[in-house]
Amino acid sequence: MTEPTQTAPTQIWPADLAARYRAAGYWRGETFPAMLRARAADHPDRVAITSGEDQLTYGALNARARALGAGLLALGLVPGDRVLIQMGNAPCFFHAVFAAFAAGLVPVYALPAHRRTEVTHLARKAQARAVLVQGRIDRFDHAAMMMGLRADLPALAHVIVAGAAPEGALDMDAIAGDPASLPPDPDPQAVAFCQISGGSTGLPKLIPRSHDDYFYSIRASNDICGITERSVYLAALPVAHNFTMSSPGHFGALYAGGRVVLCAAPMPQIAFPLIAREGVTITGLVPPLALLWLDAAQKARPDLPTLNTLQVGGAKFLPESARRVAPLLGCRLQQVFGMAEGLVNYTRDDDPDEIVTGTQGRPISPDDEVLILDDAGAPVPDGQPGNLLTRGPYTIRAYHDDDSANARSFTEDGFYRTGDIVIRLPSGHLVVQGRANDQINRNGEKISAEEVEDLLLGHPGVFDAVVVSIPDARLGERACAFIQPRGDAPTPTEIRKYLRSREVAAFKIPDEIRMVDGFATTAVGKISRRQLRETLRADVLSELDPST
Ligand code: AMP
Ligand code: DBH
């Protein structure tokens, strides 16, 4: 079977807005390969990345990226080709990503938690010609998984492995070519890479980000977060996550000529000594991890004199917890509310404490247009909850190759419907209230209720399934699946085993599984799944708290 012909990812703003963003100095024509080259020329011997005992200088990173990039082209890849990258918090991620940039290849980032189902989907959607994968991450054999899915991906020419390569795969460390064969720097308006969306329907969507738009977000984030060449950023969350990458993240630190410290696991026992040893100045966490750090700090007051800022984002951080950060960790809290599609909000250093603990910040840019609308599309006044829509110099106008998602997610005049319900304060700060659609934010990992329902329906013993989010003290939200069985009811253990056999990311396996006789219908027929989810959720909530 041949794959359908698809065009390369693009991201196009209307000419008048593009001109305005350029005139305002947001889009400056910076590109990723040029950025690393310039830093390496300015300070070749400065350490860019620390990983355990390994120190990678700017000069060495740039040299290896260029040799590897040239080697990738020598394999027959051509600039513009997409390469899927699945790597953990290890130096190979930076080698692979900057090699792709040097060669004009377009990385598509998969998360370490992604398994066959997600990886196949992303590679197919992107028509990836190569995957670059870390052999093992946390004991899972990613190289073997990639070899196993080659047959499903006719466009995929090469599996390239950092670490021990199985037969039929290429050893990334052995690939090198002549940097003289590298292409000229890309058009700054071209797509630099594809991020992926958590999404509320189906599998992850591809988010094409241009050099120009992403560099604006990084540069402005650096300004807001005070990142300089003296900054040391601890990458505790996965490096492929948009938060860790750009808010201001590791790319922000590298842009400023600072240093990135890679954290193998974000547990306080590992992170605290690392922060002390490496003089980390800033790091970012999702709320459940922040809670772990706070509890650990309460028990054994760590001495972290260099840590200025703890950023918390990806899911709602409650004010009660937010107030504990400064006293327990001795640093400033910064709330970050962002999305891989673009818009990022930060609380600022000079915001009053109650804004820092009680809001999710305000947008980066004066040109981030923010609308708060009711369900009928009418603006709601400040202080009232409504749907957040946005448009601006670093927010995408379309997903890659997904007409129905684009029709749902963007208005005719190019506003992105975030799916978030927020309140705007007169100061412009946003307070996130929840989601309008059926997405579960578990530990900062976004799960589409619809995708899990669809997977459950594949089990022969499942007649119908509805998945809802339930508030959870540890995870923020957890997933609860209601299953109407067909014939003999499968046990929750069987259901979990079945989902694992479908090779999906483990975080998508529901935390709770309940069997029900059937689902409510109305007199006029079946009620919408959305209504059904709301009703079931309300039932669980009233069980948890009988007073509501
Ligand atoms: P994604 O589309 O996977 O990049 O996830 C972005 C989504 O994560 C946002 O639309 C929000 O729903 C959620 N999110 C990110 N940061 C925060 C935050 N600080 N508070 C509440 N929700 C957040
Ligand atoms: O959750 C996110 O996607 C996110 C959170 C904080 C993000 O993309 C970001 C900052 O840039």
Pocket residue to mutate for ligand 1, from 446, 447, 448, most atoms within 8 A of Cβ: 446
Rg (alpha carbons) of the chain, rounded to whole number: 23
The whole-number pLDDT of residue 2 equals 39
Atom of ligand 2 nearest to the CA of 446: 1
**For 77-154, where are the E strands, in sequence order?**
82-86, 106-109, 130-134, 136-137, 140-141
What is the SS3 assignment for 141? strand
The closest alpha carbon to 335, from 451, 452, 247, belongs to 247
The candidate with the shortest Cα–Cα distance to 469, out of 421, 506, 436, is 436
For the chain, the straight-line distance linking the first and the last C-alpha, in angstroms and rounded, comes to: 55
pLDDT, residue 437, reads 78
Q: Nearest-5° angle of CA 218, CA 403, CA 481? A: 85
Q: For residue 432, which ligand has an atom nearest its CA?
A: 1
Distance 462 CA to ligand 1 centre (A): 31
- Is the beta carbon of 313 within 6 A of some atom in ligand 1? yes
Q: Which atom of ligand 1 is nearest to the CA of 345?
A: 19
CA separation for the pair 6, 329 (Å, rounded):
50
- List the residue whose alpha carbon is closest to atom 1 of ligand 2: 314
Share of residues in the chain with pLDDT > 90 (%): 88
Residue 5: predicted pLDDT: 42
| Closest ligand 2 atom, residue 340 Cα | 8
**Positions of the chain with pLDDT lower than 50, given as ranges:** 1-5
DSSP string covering 349-401: TTS-HHHHHH---EES-TT-EEEEE-TTS-B--TTSEEEEEEE-TTS-S--TT
| Distances in whole angstroms, Cα of residue 390 to Cα of each of 167, 338, 419, 487 | 48, 12, 11, 47
Residue 82: predicted pLDDT: 98
- pLDDT at 202 (0 to 100): 74
Q: Is 418 in the pocket of ligand 1 (CB under 6 A)?
A: yes
Q: Ligand 1 centre and the CA of 115: distance in Å?
A: 22
Identify the residue whose tokens are 């410290």. 261
Amino acid at 302: P
Contact yes or no for 82/105 (Cβ under 8 A): yes
Does the CB atom of residue 243 touch ligand 2 within 6 A?
yes
Atom of ligand 2 nearest to the CA of 217: 11
Output the six-digit token pair for 306. Answer: 């260099």
Which ligand places an atom closest to the C-alpha of 197?
1
Contact in structure between 319 and 401 (CB atoms under 8 Å):
no
Q: How far is the CA of 318 from the centre of ligand 2 (A)?
A: 17
Residues 138/142/143/149 CA torsion (nearest 10 deg):
170
**Domains parsed from the chain with CATH numbers:** 26-209 (3.40.50.980), 265-435 (3.40.50.12780), 439-544 (3.30.300.30)
In the prediction, which pLDDT does 521 show? 67
How far does the centroid of ligand 2 lie from the alpha carbon of residue 336, in Å? 7
C-alpha of residue 219 to centroid of ligand 1, in Å: 21
User: Ligand 2 pocket, 98 CB below 6 A?
Assistant: no
Closest C-alpha to ligand 1, atom 3: 198
Q: Find out whether the beta carbon of 336 lies less than 6 Å from any atom of ligand 2.
A: yes
Residue pair 40/61 in contact (Cβ under 8 Å)? The answer is yes
Q: Is the dihedral of CA 70, 71, 77, 82 positive or negative?
A: negative
Closest atom of ligand 1 relative to the 335 alpha carbon? 19
* Nearest ligand, CA 343: 2
> Mutate which of 109, 337, 439 to test ligand 1's pocket (most atoms within 8 Å of Cβ)?
337
Instruction: Report which of 329, 359, 339, 338 is spatially closest to residue 347, judged by C-alpha positions.
Output: 359
User: How many A from CA of 83 to the centre of ligand 1?
Assistant: 26
Q: Cβ distance 186 to 33 under 8 Å?
A: yes
Collapsed DSSP state (helix, strand, coil) of residue 503: coil
Query: Which residue has the CA at smallest separation from atom 8 of ligand 2?
Result: 339
Does the CB atom of residue 87 touch ligand 2 within 6 A? no
Atom 5 (ligand 1): residue with closest C-alpha? 339
pLDDT of amino acid 523: 52
* pLDDT attached to residue 310: 98
User: Backbone phi, then psi, for 332, in 5-degree steps?
Assistant: -85, 140
The label of the residue with tokens 């750090």 reads: 293
- Residue nearest (by alpha carbon) to ligand 1 atom 7: 339
